[in-house]
Every structure is written in structure tokens, then in C-alpha cells.
Amino acid sequence: MFSLVTFIPRAIVQSIPLLLGCVGETLNEKSGSLNLGIPGVMYVGAISGVIGSFMYENSATNFNPVIGLIIPIFACMLGSLMMGLIFCFLTVTLRANQNVTGLAMTTFGVGFGNFFGGSIIKLTGAEVPSIALSATSKAFKTALPFAGKAGVVGEVLLSYSFMTYVAIAIALITHYVLKRTRTGLELRAVGENPATADAAGININRYKYFSICIGCMIAGIGGLYYVLDYASGVWSNDAFGDRGWLAIALVIFSIWRPNWAIWESMLFGGLYILYLYIPTGTNFAVKEIYKMFPYIVTIIVLIAISIKNRHENQPPEALGLPYFREDR
Amino acid sequence: MDKQKKEPLIHITKRKMISKKSEWAIRLGSIVIALIVCAIITTITTHLNPFAVYASMWEGSFGTERKIWSLLKELSILLMISVALAPAFKMKFWNLGGGGQTMAGVLATAACMITMAGKIPNGLLIFISFVSALCAGALWAFIPAFCKAKWNTNETLFTLMMNYVATQLVAYYIIIWESPKGSGKIGIINSISEAGWLPVIGGKQYLLVVISAVIVTVFMYIYLRYTKHGYELSVVGESQNTAKYVGINVGKVIVRTLILTGLICGFVGWLLVAGTDHTMTTTIEGGRGFLGVMVAWLAHFNPIGMVLSGLLLVFMSRGAGEISTAFGLNKSFGDILTGIILFFVIGSEFFINYQIHFRKSHRKEAADV
């Protein structure tokens, strides 16, 4: 039976990694950097957090949930910051091609995640059969205390871990900063027309470095959320799948607006698991078609915004282009 | 007036010319540095002797005649996809959909082999699957190209999305055609009748693929270098306005070039199913659409140069397979090493394109005057 009350929470849990990935990528793209390394960044963020909490869980005698939360989040941000710095250094300082750098980062990041995910047990010599971070995951899933008592409303709106609300807050804050603050205005100027922004006295490289690094850290947290919350702390190789690319698709679908991305990520999350809820009987083939929907929807949006050609709906004008002041 | 101007420590200018020799020296240097960094990382993370790891990678790629043949096959497939992508990149059309276009060819070939086997003569079946694979690949490239030409739709994102549509379509048909039922995969297609299989030339299973790659590469070299089409697309790549001014129909050039890309990718899909793998999986393309982007870009879109950059990447992935079995490492270790090498090679392009001038000390300047 299809039940909205069980479907919506699962769709939302599914959507948060996409949302964080999307917000991170939006920040990147607003500064004019098409970062195709986001899937890799999310892998690195996830595995860095996993390594951090794995070490803590195995070394601490009595597990303190607060420290158990801080360590993986810190490790995750550190890992994704490293990836962000690699991308910045290559594309901003060395002016390398963003697409190629991004794809190389994805190769590296996915390999990094799968390698350490697969061999962390062997490398640390711990006597556990798999990476299952149950204690950390339990701390991660701390929900509001009264959610269970609030009936259907509680289940649909309040039953999530605190990270879910943090993710939505991050999206709203990013939207506010981009749209309503001077920093956001200048950042958008960098992404639209760096030469003009440069002439106006904006430090292009600093804006690019900050927006790319912060964006990568947000995306990395998305990867961590997937492992510690959605997957209940169990790391398995390639389980993250193509969610990184889906996050990039979501950026287009949300037309570069993080606040829209909140709803749309839930839609994508729903589409991703819809096949589990629609009675298809023995026809397993149809579920593969459902999985295609997010991409088809994205393509339609992409074509539609290019046909309508309204300026505020376009990708940042300098998206994908390196900036060299002396290039004219 | 006397106030001293603050001069930045580093000043960067674009190089006008660089000799081929120093260009290659910079590139080789970057690979050597990358290998040293990789060796350090290997030692730290795995406590293995990095030279033993490299030796084993070499062994995995060139160890036996069979290994050399599979290296050549991998190189040929990757090379053809890179070569297919090159003209579009030269036009500054960022086609990230080489994988999807190949998958379209894969799907069309498998469809022909499964549905028509035994109903028509084998030669005709091969011909029909060939034509439909090329058409499918071309169609997959045509859709984003058309939108780009007509409405200036962002092609990077469009072609990226088309990959997943193709992959999901393949996943759908795998379940429709699965055999044996319930296994969730397609076994070897027509394993008994071998209908639709390409003939083996000269007793070597992969010789046909290698010959195809040579033909495609040489063709593309000539196409880009010596034909009017090749000239037109490089003008479009340099400046669309110039192209319009001299009367080149930019939209037409974009669509035409992308159809060519799609045809070659579809051809690769046909070779993969009918020639080498004889099956269809969602991962048959193996990320070569993305690898091809890097191969083409590293070689500056020169088809001959792609042989070298392709060889580097194929060597890394073949070698990674070998070290995973030899040392009990995870296969993904190779991806890490490949990533590091790519970072260095990508970074080295800067030193080829730009020149760094350090601030001269003022005392020395005064002495010069």
C-alpha cells in the first residue's frame, strides 16, 4: 500500500545529500566555476568523516556523543576543504580547464572513497568485520524529543535528525547571502563578468577561493549525511552511486536558487525511491524508467530556460571560463 | 614622483611561443613529479615498496602477449571515443556525453542482435546493427547539438544528463531481455549461434578493434587538419563572431560536428557489443566518456597526441588491476594514482601557456642602468 506518511520521510532523508551537494555546487557555479568534481568531493567528505569517527569509536573507551559528532564533521570538512583547495589551485591560480580538472577530481575522489572504505579495516588492524559506526550514527540521528508524540504531523515534519534541519538552514542562509548581501552581490558579479568585477575593485581570486572551498565543504557534509544518517553509519563501496551527478542536475533544476532546491531536492529524492512504493508487481523494468525521471526533468528545464532566455534564469555568464586579467 | 611603486613579487604573462622541446620537457617533468608523489603516498598508506608497485603495474600492462592485447584493445576503445570528442572540443562545445552516445550505440546493437538473430542472414544482421548503432549514437549527440544551435542551451550540462538517460534506458532493456530470467543481467548474446558477432581477423580477437582505432584516428587527423570542415570548426572555436562574419553557418557547423562525434561513439558501442564483449551491461562504457574528455584535452585535441595521453590512462587502469591482485589492495587505489597524475599534468599546462616573472631586486636593476 502506498502511504504518504511513510513515503515523505523517506523521500526527505533521501533528498538531504542531494540538497547539500546542490547548495555547494550552486556556490561554486555562482563564482563562475563549473565544478564537476562535486561527486568526488562528496565521496571524500563522506569517507573522511567515516575515518574520523571510526578511529574515535575504536579508541574511545566510553563514547561521548558530542565529541562523536564533532570529530566526523570536522574530519569531513577538512577532507572536502582539501578537495576544494585542489580545484581552486588548479583552476583559479593555474587557470586550468574546469571540466577536465573536475572530472579528474571525481576520478580521484571516488577512488579515494572506495579505497579507504574498502581497506580501512585492514589498514587499522581493528578486529571488526565491517565499518558500521552505530554509535556515531545514533548520535547523528538525534531527533526532536517530542516528535514521536505528535502523530502524523510529527512523523512528516519533525521526525528527522538535527542534521536535516541544519541542511535546510544552510540552503536558506546561502540563498540569503547570495541574494541579499553585498558579499553575495559581489560574488555573483564575479560569476557573471569577472572583468567588470575586477574593474570595480573586487578581489576575484579571493571570492573564487572562498566560494569554492565553502561550497565543497557543504557538499562534503552531504556525503557524510548519507553515510551516517541515511545508511545508518554503514559504509559500503559505491553505495553513494550517482547522487553527486544528481546534485549537479538539481542545480539546474532549481535554476541556481538554493531556496528552491529545498523542495526540488525532495521531489528528486521522491523520484529516486518512487519505484519502491509503486506497485509494479513483477515488472522490475519500470523502476529503471522511474530512475530516469530526474534527468529528463532536468533536461526539460534546461531547454525551457534557454528558450525563454530570461536573464535571471540563465547560468552565470562566465560559467566554466578561467579569468586572466591580461586576457582581452 | 619619487614615491616607489609597489611591484608585485610575481608577474604572470601569456607565452607567445614555446618550443616543442620545452613543452614536452615540462609535461614529462610533471609526470615524473607526480610519480614521486604517488610513490610517497603509496608508502604512507599501504606500507608497500612503491617500486614494487610500479613494477607490478608495468607487469600488468605489458607482462604477457595477452596482457598487451587487452591493453591495446582498451587503448583503442578509449582512443576512438577521445578522437570522437576532439572536433567538438576544438569548437569549444563541451561534450561530456561521449559515454551516453556510446551507450546509445551499445543499446541499438544489442537490440538488433537479440531481436533479429536467426531471422535474417548473419551478414545482413551485422550490417543492420552497424547502421542502427551509428544512427543511435548520432541521435544522442544531435539532440543537445540542435538545442545548442537553436537556443544556445548549455551543452555541458545537457550532454551530462543525456548519459544517465542512456544508462537508465540500457538498465530498462537489460531487465526486459534478461537471460536467464530473474538474473537481472543479459548473458552472452547469441552465445551458441554467434549471430551478429563480428568475425575474428587474423586469429587475434582484438585485431579488428585496433585496426578500427587506427583508421578512425587517421581519419580524424586528416579531417581536422586538411579539410574545409576542420577549418570551419576551428574558426568557430576561436571566435563565433568571426565565423559569422566570414559567412560560416555556426549552427550548421555545430550540428554537423556533433553528428560526426555521435557516429564515432555509436561505432564504438557497436564494436563493444558485437566485437568484444558480446553482452550489454550498464557499465560497459566504463567511464570512458569522461576519460576521453581528459585524453583529448591533455593532447590539445591532436589525434596523434591522444595515443600517448590515452596510453598513460590505460596503463594506469590496467596496472591498477594488477596491483589489486598482486598486493591484495583495493582496485580503487589505481584511481587515486590516476587522479594525482592528472592533477599534475593539468597543472603543468599552466607553465606551458604562461610565463612567470619574478620581481627583480632593485639594486640589480640600478646596476643594469
* pLDDT of B293 strictly over 50: yes
Measure B1 CA to nearest chain A CA, in Å. 24
What is the reported pLDDT for A238? 73
Domain range annotation of chain A: 4-313
Mean pLDDT for all residues in chain B: 87
* pLDDT of B105 strictly over 50: yes
Q: Best-predicted range by mean pLDDT among B15-29, B96-110, B281-295?
A: B96-110
Q: Do A90 and B343 touch (CB under 8 A)?
A: yes
* pLDDT of A143 strictly over 70: no
DSSP A132: B
Number of helices and strands in chain B (H, E): 14, 2
Q: Do A295 and B165 touch (CB under 8 A)?
A: yes
Comparing B81 with A160, the larger pLDDT belongs to: B81
DSSP B179: B
- Contact residues on chain A for B184, CB-CB shorter than 8 A: 284
Mean pLDDT along residues A6-10: 81
Who's near B25: CB < 8 A, 6+ residues apart? none
- Contact residues on chain B for A319, CB-CB shorter than 8 A: 154
Mean pLDDT along residues B172-190: 81
B45, burial (CB in 10 Å: exposed 0-12, middle 13-18, buried 19+)? middle
Distance CA A205, CA A213 (A): 12
Mean pLDDT along residues A123-146: 64
Measure B199 CA to nearest chain A CA, in Å. 33
| A66-99 tens-digit pLDDT | 888 889 899 999 999 999 999 999 999 988 889 8
CA B276 to mean position of chain CA atoms = 18
Q: Do B335 and A115 touch (CB under 8 A)?
A: yes
Neighbour tally for B362: CB within 10 Å: 10
Contact of B152 with chain A, judged by CB distance below 8 Å, is answered with yes
Among A137-146, B45-54, B309-318, B326-335, the minimum mean pLDDT is found in: A137-146
* pLDDT of B363 strictly over 90: no
Comparing A290 with B77, the larger pLDDT belongs to: B77
Residue with cell 562574419: B245
CATH architecture designation of domain A4-313: Orthogonal Bundle (1.10)
Distance CA A40, CA B353 (A): 28
| A175, amino acid identity | H
Distance CA B273, CA B170 (A): 13
Mean pLDDT along residues A248-274: 87
Q: Do B338 and A108 touch (CB under 8 A)?
A: yes
Residues counted in chain B = 369
Mean pLDDT along residues A112-126: 72
Residue among A36, A94, A299 whose CB faces B350 most closely: A94
Contact of B96 with chain A, judged by CB distance below 8 Å, is answered with yes
| B243-272 tens-digit pLDDT | 989 889 999 999 999 999 999 999 999 999
What is the reported pLDDT for A84? 95
- Contact residues on chain A for B151, CB-CB shorter than 8 A: 303, 306-307, 309
* pLDDT of B202 strictly over 80: no
Mean pLDDT along residues A9-37: 91
Nearest of B305, B307, B295, B298 to residue B348 by alpha carbon? B298
Nearest of A208, A231, A236, A195 to residue A92 by alpha carbon? A208
Contact of B183 with chain A, judged by CB distance below 8 Å, is answered with no
Comparing A283 with B75, the larger pLDDT belongs to: B75
Name the phi and psi angles at B201, rounded to 5.
-95, 135
pLDDT band of B361, cuts 50, 70, 90: low
What is the reported pLDDT for B1? 46
Q: Do B172 and A289 touch (CB under 8 A)?
A: yes
ipTM of predicted assembly, 2 dp: 0.87
pLDDT band of A180, cuts 50, 70, 90: very high
* pLDDT of B182 strictly over 60: yes
SS3 B204: strand
Let me know: does A295 contact A272? Beta carbons within 8 Å: no
Comparing B302 with B258, the larger pLDDT belongs to: B258
Residue with cell 608497485: B53
Mean pLDDT along residues B59-69: 86
Q: Do A284 and B290 touch (CB under 8 A)?
A: no
* pLDDT of B299 strictly over 90: no
- Contact residues on chain A for B338, CB-CB shorter than 8 A: 107-108, 111
**C-alpha separations of A278 from A268, A281, A289 in Å:** 16, 9, 12
SS3 B93: coil
Among A25-39, A137-151, B5-19, the minimum mean pLDDT is found in: A137-151
- Contact residues on chain A for B298, CB-CB shorter than 8 A: 100
Residue B112 C-alpha cell reads as 538488433
Distance CA A51, CA B344 (A): 26
Measure A67 CA to nearest chain B CA, in Å. 26
Residue among B12, B287, B347 whose CB faces A96 most closely: B347
Q: Do B151 and A303 touch (CB under 8 A)?
A: yes
pLDDT band of B189, cuts 50, 70, 90: confident
What is the reported pLDDT for B5? 62
What is the reported pLDDT for A147? 56
Mean pLDDT along residues A212-217: 95
Residues counted in chain A = 328
Contact of B329 with chain A, judged by CB distance below 8 Å, is answered with yes
Domain range annotation of chain B: 79-298
* pLDDT of A133 strictly over 80: no
Closest residue on chain B to A100 (Cα): B294
Q: Do A86 and B343 touch (CB under 8 A)?
A: yes
* pLDDT of B213 strictly over 80: yes
